[in-house]
């Protein structure tokens, strides 16, 4: 059994406010939102980060992006949103189970990284 936090959410051992679930992916609200709309889309099968992803993960990775726009719109991000995948130490990844952040809301987000 995986000790991973997001695997525990997939198994229902830790509660989450689910946004979407299908055979490949789960989406749920971020516990510490940085914008009015902030949810995460994860593959149900554990993979630690984009570094570990390979061809076998393509169905889940594809589904994560394929549902993002519809879910974002349903959650109220109707005029754009940002997708973020943090990877590794430099990317400041905190939870080592791949996830896409979907961040948006009524207001325009701050710019990208400072130059």
Task: Provide the binding-site residues for Zn ion, judged by CB under 5 A.
Answer: 4, 6-7, 46, 97
Report in angstroms how near the CB of residue 5 gets to ligand AMP at its nearest: 6
81 binds, among Zn ion, ligand AMP, none (CB under 5 to 8 A by kind): none
Is there binding between residue 30 and ligand AMP (CB under 6 A)? Answer: yes
**Phi and psi at residue 10, in whole multiples of 5°?**
-60, -40
Contact 27, 8 (CB under 8 A): no
Q: Show the site string, 73-102: x = touches ligand AMP by CB under 6 A, - = not.
A: -------------x-----xxxx-------
32 is a site residue for ligand AMP (CB under 6 A): yes
Task: Please confirm, yes or no, whether 24 is among the known catalytic residues.
Answer: no
Between CA 103 and CA 72 the distance in angstroms is 8
Distance (Å, whole) CA 26 – CA 95: 15
With a CB cutoff of 8 Å and minimum separation 6, the contacts of 66 are: none
């Amino acid at each position: 059994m995986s000790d991973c936090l997001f695997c525990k959410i997939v198994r229902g051992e830790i509660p989450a406010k689910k946004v979407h679930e299908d055979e490949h992916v789960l989406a749920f609200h971020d516990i510490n939102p940085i914008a009015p709309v902030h949810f995460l889309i994860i593959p149900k099968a554990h993979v630690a980060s984009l570094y570990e992803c390979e061809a076998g993960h393509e169905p889940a990775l594809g589904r994560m992006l394929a549902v993002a726009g519809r879910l974002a719109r349903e959650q109220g991000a109707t005029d754009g949103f940002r997708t973020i995948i943090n990877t590794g130490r430099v990317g400041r990844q905190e939870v080592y189970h791949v996830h896409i952040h979907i961040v948006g809301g009524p207001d325009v987000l701050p710019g990208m990284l400072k130059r």
